[in-house]
Chain A
Amino acid sequence: MLGVLGQFRHRRFRRDLSAYVDDMLSERARRRLEAHLDSCEACRQELAELRATVEALGSLPMAEAPRSFTLAAAPIAEARPRPAARRLEFGLRLATATAAFALTVVLIGDFAGLPGGGDEEEEWVRGELYSATQGTPPAPEAASAGTPEPYGVTEMPNISDVPDILEAPGISDVQREESAADETPAADQTAAPPEGTPIETPAAPLPGVTEPRGEEPTVGAVVSEEEPSEKATLEGAEVEEEVGAGAVGAEVEDEAEAGAVENQAVGEEDGGGLSREEVVRWLEIGLGAGVGVLVIVWALARFQRSMGNRP
C-alpha cells in the first residue's frame, strides 16, 4: 500500500520537474519537490537529463530568413461575405432551424396524440360534412361551431377526400363525431365565438386537418429541398474567421497521452477552415436526414391510421 502511494507521489513529482526547470512551481510545490529530490536518485537523474535536453534545444541556432517576406503589394482581400449578406445568411439559417424544430415538435406531438393532433379533428370535420350534406341535426357542440349550410358549401372540394363517408353514412360516424367533439373542445371553442362570420373561421384549421395526405409529400419535398440550399449558403462562411488567428488546440484539453489522439485534436482545432466546415456540413446533413425520416415515418403512420379507421 505504501509502495503504491509512494509510486503515485513519485509520478506526481516527475510531472513537476519540467515546471521546476522553468521555475514555474509555486513556493510550496517547489519545496516539496526539492525535499523529494533529496531522497530520490531517479528523479535527480531525470531532472539532470531534462535540463540537458532543454539546454540542447536552447542551443539550436536560429536560421536567417532565406529571403525577405515583405509584401510587394497589399494582398487581395479574401472573398468574405459582406456584413449584410452575413446577417441575411444568419437570419435564413435561424429561420430554417426554427422551422425544423417546429416541425419536429408538431410531429412528435402528433405521435404522442396530444390535443390538437389531426385525427380527432378530421373525424369531427367528417361528421360536419356528413351532417351538412344530409341535413341531419348536428351535435350540440358541432352546432356551435358555425352555420352548417355555408360551411358545407365552402368545403365541398374536401368531400372528394372522404367519399367513403358520403357513400356509407352510418350511426358509428355520428357517434364518432360526438366523441371527437367531446375530446376536442379546443377546436370547437376556437370555431365557436365568431358566429357572425361562419365561413372563414372554421375553414382556417381545415387545410391542415382534412387534407393531411395531400400535404405529406409536399412537406417531405420542402424539407429535402431546403437542406441543400441551406448547406450551400453555409459553405466556408463561418469557418474562415478562424483561418488565421484560429484556436490552436484551444477548446479540447483532453490531455490524452496517445499521440494519435493529440494529433487529431490539433488537426481539428488548429484553425483550418476545412474540418470545421465539414463538421457543420455533416451536422446539417444529419439534421436534414433526421427530419426527413421523421416526416416519412409520420406520413406512413398517418396513412395506416386513416386506413385502419375506414369502415
Chain B
Amino acid sequence: MVIADEEQLVQSSRKGDLDAFNALVQAYQRQVYNLCLRMLGAAAAEDAAQEAFTTAYRRLDSFRGGNFRAWLLRIASNICCDELRRHRSRPTASLDAALEAGSPADVPSHQAGPEEETLRSELGQHLQQGLATLPAEQRLVIILRDIHGLSYEELTETLHCSLGTVKSRIARGRARMREYLMARRELLPRRFRHKE
C-alpha cells in the first residue's frame, strides 16, 4: 500500500512539517502497531510503535527515497529486535507471557458466527504461540510476508538482505510453523486435520 501523495508528505516532513509527518503516521500506524504486536505481544507493542514513529521522524534525513513503508517497517523491526534482545539479557515474565498466551486477544473479529469465531480465535492463539517459538529473524519475515503481505522485493528493502536470504528465511520459518501446527493438528480447524 502506498498512499497517494506520500512522496510530497515525506518531503514536507523532512522540512519539519509535523502535520505532514502525522499524515504518514496515520496511514501506517496500523501496520506498524500490528508488526510490534506480533513480534512483542500486546504489553510492549504500543510503546514500541510509538518509539518507531518518534525514531522515524528523527531519522527522516536518512531516508534516501524509495519505499517509505519498507523504511518505516525496518525501523519498527529494529526496535522490536532491540526489545527482544534486551528481554533476552534481562528476562521478564511479561513479554514471554504476552507472546505465548496468544496475546493479540484484542484483535477484533470480523463478522462471524460464534462457532467460527471460537475456532478462529483458537487458531489465532496457536499461530501466535507458534510465532513466539521462532527465532526473531524468522518470526519477523513470516509476519511481514504472510500476515502483512509484503512482496519479496519489499522484504529485501525492509530486511536489508538479498532475495536468496529472504527466500531462505521464509522457507525455514514456514517449515517451523508447519511443524508446530501439525504437532497440534487435533486442536486445529478441520482443514488441518483432514490433510493427513
Contacts and interface: CB of A to CB of B under 8 A. Distances in A.
Interface of A: 15, 17-19, 21-22, 24, 45-46, 48-50, 52-71, 73-75, 77-78, 241, 243-250, 253, 255, 257, 259, 262-263, 265-267, 270-272, 275
B42 to A, nearest CB: 9
B161 A250 contact: yes
B94 interface: no
Contacts of A22: 145, 152, 170
A18 B175 contact: yes
A181 to B, nearest CB: 63
30 contacts: A15-B171, A18-B171, A18-B175, A21-B174, A24-B167, A56-B192, A58-B149, A59-B123, A60-B104, A61-B109, A61-B124, A63-B33, A63-B104, A65-B33, A65-B49, A68-B26, A69-B33, A70-B25, A71-B25, A74-B57, A241-B62, A244-B58, A248-B74, A248-B161, A249-B160, A250-B160, A266-B140, A267-B84, A267-B136, A272-B81
B130 to A, nearest CB: 9
B129 to A, nearest CB: 12
B91 interface: no
A74 B13 CA distance: 10
B147 A57 contact: yes
Contacts of A53: 174, 177-178, 181
Interface in B89-136: 104, 106-110, 120, 123-124, 127, 134-136
Nearest to A70: B22
A60 to B, nearest CB: 5
B74 A48 contact: no
A259 to B, nearest CB: 5
A284 to B, nearest CB: 22
B29 interface: yes
A267 B88 contact: yes
Interface in B133-162: 134-138, 140, 142, 145-147, 149, 152, 158-162
A22 to B, nearest CB: 7
A24 B170 CA distance: 12
Instruction: Give 8 closest A-B pairs by Cβ, nearest first.
Output: A270-B81, A18-B171, A57-B146, A271-B78, A70-B22, A262-B135, A267-B85, A244-B55
A74 B18 contact: yes
B162 A17 contact: no
A55 B53 CA distance: 30
Given A52-B192, A267-B85, A246 B171 contact: no
A272 B170 CA distance: 23
Given A48-B195, A243-B55, 5 more contacts: A18-B167, A24-B152, A61-B107, A244-B58, A259-B134
B106 A66 contact: yes
A62 B49 CA distance: 15
A246 B38 CA distance: 20
A83 B110 CA distance: 52
B32 A69 contact: yes
A47 B152 CA distance: 20
Contacts of A46: 178
Contacts of B170: 18-19, 22
B40 interface: no
B77 to A, nearest CB: 5
Contacts of A265: 137
A155 to B, nearest CB: 60
Contacts of A275: 85
A56 B177 CA distance: 10
B12 interface: no
Nearest to A53: B178
B81 A267 contact: yes
B162 A253 contact: yes
B56 A244 contact: yes
Contacts of A246: 78
Given A56-B123, A57-B142, A73 B46 contact: no
A261 to B, nearest CB: 9
